[in-house]
Structure 1
Amino acid sequence: MQPQKRKTGNDRALSGTAAAEAPLSEGESSSLADLVLASRFFKESWYLRSYPEVGTSGFDPLEHFLRRGASGDFDPGPLFSSKKYMEAHPELRETGENPLLHYLRFGIPRDRLADPDAFDSDLSARQRARDAGGMFMRRFGFVSDEAGKAGLVDAVNYLTEIEPVLLVGTESPDVSIVMQAGGRMEELLSLLDSLAWHETRWRCEIVVTDTALLPQERAVLLTRIPWIRTVCGSAVNDDLRGEYIVLLGGTTRVVTRWLDELIGSFSLFPAAGIVGPRILRNDLSLQQAGGIVLSGGAVRRYGFGKAPDHPRFSYARQTDFVSAASLAIRRNLWSRLGGFDTAVPVSHRAADLAFRARKAGFEVWYQPVSQVIACDEETFGEQATGKDEETERADIAAFHDRWRSVLRRHGDPATSAIEKANRYSGKPLVVFDRTTPAPDRDAGSHLAASLIHAYMQLGRRVVFTPPPNYKSRDYYTRDLQRLGVECLHKPHFGSVAEIAEYVKNVDHVLVFRVNVLGPLYDDIRAAWPDARIIYNTVDLHHLREARQAEIAQDEALSRKAAETEEKELSLIRKADCTVVLSETERELLLRSVPEAADSLVVFPYIFEMPERKNPPPLMSARRDIVFLGGYMHMPNIDAAHFLKEKIWPRLRPHLPADARLLLVGADAGPEIYALSGDGVEVTGFVADLEPVFDSARVFVAPLRFGAGIKGKVIHALAHGVPSVVSPIAAEGMGLVDERDLLVAEGEGAFCEAVLRLYGDEVLWEELHGNGLSFVERNYSWENGLDRCRTLLEVADRTAMRRKAAGSSVKVGKSAAMD
């Protein structure tokens, strides 16, 4: 059941005009004002600028908002939209309640976004968690050093009555969440409140140990909460049922996504034995981004007091240890190690546990996408207390003696904290692309993301940055950081020189696209003179432009294609390795740059076969014709028009009445949506393509110009959809007409091929199986890893050959690059 609303002045609805105009009592006005001012949403200067009539109304800006805000016409500040909130909660128009007050009383405590469609950044999530903690403490009078009994009873009653959002189940839980009852009970109850509203896909048991440390009446109070298990002694080594054990300090509050990201990291990093989150202080500065152990045995919190969203603290990586204030460990490893070694000083127990886990063959990972707020500087179960210098030196010396052979490998204490934090990472590989890859939106992003992931798997420290704007990209930046990719972006990094100051000893730089490498080439050579540059063309831009110019009979576009060709050929001559996507493109280039023969590598694609949620439907259950593409790409825009205007009118009379032409893909603007109608549906971006492909009897790709490998064709074949494509769409992939798919050119031939495949079950089944086999045979992950190694080897050989010949590439812009 949901928490019951308290019948207090703060809960009274402000409904209708009469209520909005009615004078507020002094106590009511003060309570509402305190609640709003304690939040971060009301900005008086912004309010006066946005609503100038307030200045002449005779009302204080805050009082005006409290009186008039229920209408939804007034926003308290730039971080909260009253209109959007009321659209999500239309019942507020009936009750007349101020939308911000409703959000503060119900939304934040239940960890809800004010705008459900907004991107939930790590910053907004932790602000919400901190706000919810403060509201919980104020609600029950826990703002003083020692709470009264009445407040504790009220808080326990509240926790007893609610039905947690957290999946709680003591039988066969996935995760055992364990906290100790030492310390202030008020903070322990606040932690339980944050767990109660924490959404996760994992079934949990919540165990509070060492309740004997509490006064008896408080320990009895805890036993009333039905969804936790209390233990008088320590149960950390006994009777825990989850596959994973998660330890939480009693003064923490968990942040949105904390548990899913923490436990999910064990799947991302199969060798991980321990994973820890990003830990924040109550002022939301960084408490710890993993721990560092110096060669002398001293322990340090990496990033303490720094800005938590700085890129160097925002990517997953192996670390010396993680804080016991919040860590997850495999239960079998915990049992094998016997938990914490109580013979080790408290200050070093988490580090000792990590070192023993690593000795047992496991890795220790820091995962910043998982976050907790720790109100105190505490380890699991024991408050951090000051020690005299002699005791601290003795603790450090004892730890050093225990792990002397390991610490010897920790190197010079004078090395930078950044180098120490990355001691388990491989050699840096710096990757440049025009924007953070969005692999579910376009084929170029899929290619870039695949290479990034492959080099991560090969043990490189991958550093990604998106010039020229150097902007992060919400979900997609977070996706890379979750996997361990270091994403450098503004406001922290905005040039190659700034990146080079941060990332040292770079052997290889991977750059995608001519319009990215062209302006940066000299800067890269100057920043890392010995680094080998690998240039991935993505496709030959000049070839695509020339084909488009030929179809459009556009002289200006033809001149642009010639300029692009000059730039591409110049870069190919200077790069240490150039990646092209097909043999067709390689053969074309060799006519113009034969001297690059040894540095040109064909690397078409990497594709992991999709894991199906359901068995694929039979041909007879499918009706639709499907085209997939990103509509910021001119070849796809042209193909969509060609399908709607030339192909579909000839197909439709011969198809079932319920058959549709689906134009699927991201970035569809008004021009594409205008093609809807007469059996044509524009879906826009679709996150899960399986249902779309399952509806498709035939996939079509009538591209009339373009270059490179067509990812859309690979995706269709990998989903088992027989396809009809143009020669441009099939170019350079090794596809065989009539075996893997059908290839047709021109309106008439293309329509005939589609109708033939649509109605021939024998042919359909044959192409269905052969298409799947083609993708598995040519684009497997294993083949991709081998090709990634080849790129590095080719780049190294080219650089060595140039050095031996005394012909190293000089830095200096040519006219072709301007």
Structure 2
Amino acid sequence: MSLPNATKVLVIGYVWPEPRSSAAGGHMMQILETFLQQGWDITFSSPAGTGEHRDDLTALGIREVPIELNNNSFDAFITKLAPDMVLFDRFMMEEQFGWRVEKHCPDAVRVLETSDLQSLRDARQQRLKNRLKASDDANDFSDLFAPALREEFELMADTDLAKREIAALYRCDLNLMISEFEIELLAEQFNVPRDLLHWCPLMVDAPDSPPAPFEDRSHFIHIGNFRHAPNWDAVLWLKTTIWPLIREQLPTAQLHIYGAYTPPKATALHNTAQGFHVMNWAEDALQVMSAARVCLAPLRFGAGIKGKIIDAMLCGTPNVTTPVGAEAMHGESPWPGAVTRTAREFADCAVQLYIDQTQWTHAQATGLALLADRYQLQTHGPALIAKLEYCQQHLAEIRRDNFTGSMLRHHQHKSTQYMSQWIEAKNRFKENA
């Protein structure tokens, strides 16, 4: 229940939150729950259709209001609501609705939940496509992994997506960044002021019971929403290259692949004789992760930090991944499993971790320690609230210092205003013709 005079927050979601389908959905729910703990008054709106795995926000005391793109009814809605703060879920929502917020609620704090840098993910996907066209080597992808910040900048800088996304970052008063790597990329290469960037990773509570031990677990697991391109690519690399290498050493090994919105092209990969099982959506991802012995996350591109790996650590399940999977996730701490650069190395490490109880137990303990060190809700939740309250109290100063953002908001507002006037004039001309 919101408190009297509570901060009124409008969240404009790219989709309705599905925490059991994606890390992005889980992170949004963590943010909403942090707001609720403050007694803030929350309205969640989205132009998206309702997904089959969405959470019931009304049960938490959050109002749900569907909205439409390019529809003037939003103007009346936001004017009546008069939010103190607007949280855009992904930069596309800021593009679509930011100018309307500026027009009707100019004093509302504008916050962008980036989830990850989509322009970085898209550029890395293009780099992988180019590499696959240039070479049929399905083993060694070392040249794709962990390039210098400058190389990433040069890959992104000329793209339309990067220009759109970073303009949206500037137009907001605060941007929630899930990855420290992306903060450094934006600050050092794109010259985005650090004051506009707030590190807000996935936030979890410590497990309330010890995880299952080595001897009570079996099988390998991969998990991830099939609509997310990096996950689908990881499944293909597993199927064509990595899993056959694992089965060479462990002929009876079984791999269980779970993911929301499983398409026919994924179910077609199911092959019991190869131990390659496409299991569709998991009702309880933590339950199936807790039963597995090793999590496989062979990501060849992507951005942000990885929800599947956080889930693996929560469940005490060691993992094998790539530098893309491990990026920005462990700081100076050791990795709870193995980070590899080739399919052969990936398979060898996965097998060794699967059969070596001592190594496996050490990796499990390392993951739990990493969670406690970097991802605790009781640390990041209060830090987020403190930063948002600072923005409320110093909004004029923040906007004055962010002249580029003010300039971009001005031109965004003016351009849409001129477009609206042109459309009205065109319609009047038709009526009088």
With the length of structure 2 as denominator, give the TM-score of the two structures. 0.82
Q: Does 1:813 align with 2:422?
A: no
Partner of 1:160: none
Task: Find the aligned partners of 1:670 and 1:757 in 2 and give their Cα distance.
Answer: 32
Letter in 2 for 1:679: G
Partner of 1:620: 215
Partner of 1:712: 308
Spell out the pairing of 1:37-56 with structure 2 (5 A cutoff).
Answer: none
Kept in 2, the 8 Å contact 1:454–1:784? The answer is: no
Kept in 2, the 8 Å contact 1:432–1:465? The answer is: yes
Task: Find the aligned partners of 2:247 and 2:332 in 1 and give their Cα distance.
Answer: 28
How far the C-alpha of 1:494 sits from its partner, in A, is 7.9
Task: Find the aligned partners of 1:451 and 1:609 in 2 and give their Cα distance.
Answer: 17
Change (3 A) 1:671 1:760: same
Partner of 1:725: 321
Change (3 A) 1:791 1:509: farther
RMSD over aligned Cα atoms: 2.9
Partner of 1:466: 46
Partner of 2:354: 758
How far the C-alpha of 1:585 sits from its partner, in A, is 0.4
Kept in 1, the 8 Å contact 2:120–2:156? The answer is: no
Gaps of 5+ in 1: 1-316, 319-422
Describe the SS at the equivalent of 1:553: helix
How far the C-alpha of 1:804 sits from its partner, in A, is 5.4
Task: Find the aligned partners of 1:683 and 1:561 in 2 and give their Cα distance.
Answer: 40
Partner of 2:249: 654
Spell out the pairing of 1:261-660 with structure 2 (5 A cutoff).
Answer: 317=1, 424=4, 426-467=6-47, 469=48, 471-472=49-50, 476=54, 479-489=56-66, 495-504=73-82, 506-553=83-130, 562-609=159-206, 616-655=211-250, 657=252, 659-660=253-254
Could you say which structure has the higher helix fraction? 2
How far the C-alpha of 1:805 sits from its partner, in A, is 6.1
Kept in 1, the 8 Å contact 2:257–2:280? The answer is: yes
Gaps of 5+ in 2: 134-154, 420-433
Q: Does 1:741 align with 2:337?
A: yes
Partner of 1:668: 262
Task: Find the aligned partners of 1:500 and 1:544 in 2 and give their Cα distance.
Answer: 32
Describe the SS at the equivalent of 2:9: strand
With the length of structure 1 as denominator, give the TM-score of the two structures. 0.45
How far the C-alpha of 1:694 sits from its partner, in A, is 3.2
Task: Find the aligned partners of 1:750 and 1:487 in 2 and give their Cα distance.
Answer: 44
Task: Find the aligned partners of 2:52 and 2:294 in 1 and give their Cα distance.
Answer: 35
**Which of residues 789, 797, 801 in structure 1 aligns to 2:385?**
789
Task: Find the aligned partners of 1:675 and 1:494 in 2 and give their Cα distance.
Answer: 46
Task: Find the aligned partners of 1:800 and 1:600 in 2 and give their Cα distance.
Answer: 17
Letter in 2 for 1:665: G
1:509-558 alpha-carbon deviations (Å, 9 max, x no partner): 11111222112221111121101111111100010011100110199xx8
Describe the SS at the equivalent of 1:636: helix
Letter in 1 for 2:258: V
Describe the SS at the equivalent of 2:261: coil
How far the C-alpha of 1:741 sits from its partner, in A, is 2.5
Q: What fraction of aligned residue pairs are identical, expressed as a percent?
A: 27
Describe the SS at the equivalent of 1:708: coil
Kept in 2, the 8 Å contact 1:544–1:705? The answer is: yes
Change (3 A) 1:475 1:672: closer
Task: Find the aligned partners of 2:116 and 2:396 in 1 and give their Cα distance.
Answer: 27
How far the C-alpha of 1:719 sits from its partner, in A, is 0.3
Task: Find the aligned partners of 2:370 and 2:106 in 1 and give their Cα distance.
Answer: 42
Task: Find the aligned partners of 2:384 and 2:299 in 1 and give their Cα distance.
Answer: 29
Kept in 2, the 8 Å contact 1:626–1:696? The answer is: yes
Kept in 1, the 8 Å contact 2:91–2:169? The answer is: no
How far the C-alpha of 1:590 sits from its partner, in A, is 1.0
Task: Find the aligned partners of 1:622 and 1:668 in 2 and give their Cα distance.
Answer: 25
How far the C-alpha of 1:734 sits from its partner, in A, is 1.9
Task: Find the aligned partners of 1:453 and 1:549 in 2 and give their Cα distance.
Answer: 36
Structure with larger RCO (C-alpha < 8 A, sep 6+) = 2
Task: Find the aligned partners of 1:533 and 1:433 in 2 and give their Cα distance.
Answer: 14
Spell out the pairing of 1:14-413 with structure 2 (5 A cutoff).
Answer: 317=1
Task: Find the aligned partners of 1:561 and 1:692 in 2 and give their Cα distance.
Answer: 42
Task: Find the aligned partners of 2:402 and 2:344 in 1 and give their Cα distance.
Answer: 58
Task: Find the aligned partners of 1:719 and 1:701 in 2 and give their Cα distance.
Answer: 15
Task: Find the aligned partners of 2:186 and 2:117 in 1 and give their Cα distance.
Answer: 9
Change (3 A) 1:609 1:676: farther
Describe the SS at the equivalent of 1:476: coil
Kept in 1, the 8 Å contact 2:119–2:156? The answer is: no
How far the C-alpha of 1:769 sits from its partner, in A, is 1.4
Task: Find the aligned partners of 2:290 and 2:165 in 1 and give their Cα distance.
Answer: 40
1:772-797 alpha-carbon deviations (Å, 9 max, x no partner): 12113322221132232143145336
Task: Find the aligned partners of 1:646 and 1:568 in 2 and give their Cα distance.
Answer: 35
Task: Find the aligned partners of 2:164 and 2:344 in 1 and give their Cα distance.
Answer: 38
Point out the structure with max Rg over C-alpha. Answer: 1
Kept in 2, the 8 Å contact 1:542–1:565? The answer is: yes
1:109-142 alpha-carbon deviations (Å, 9 max, x no partner): xxxxxxxxxxxxxxxxxxxxxxxxxxxxxxxxxx
How far the C-alpha of 1:737 sits from its partner, in A, is 7.3
Describe the SS at the equivalent of 1:812: helix
Letter in 1 for 2:125: Q
Kept in 2, the 8 Å contact 1:434–1:516? The answer is: yes
Task: Find the aligned partners of 1:757 and 1:529 in 2 and give their Cα distance.
Answer: 55
Kept in 2, the 8 Å contact 1:472–1:490? The answer is: no
Change (3 A) 1:604 1:494: farther
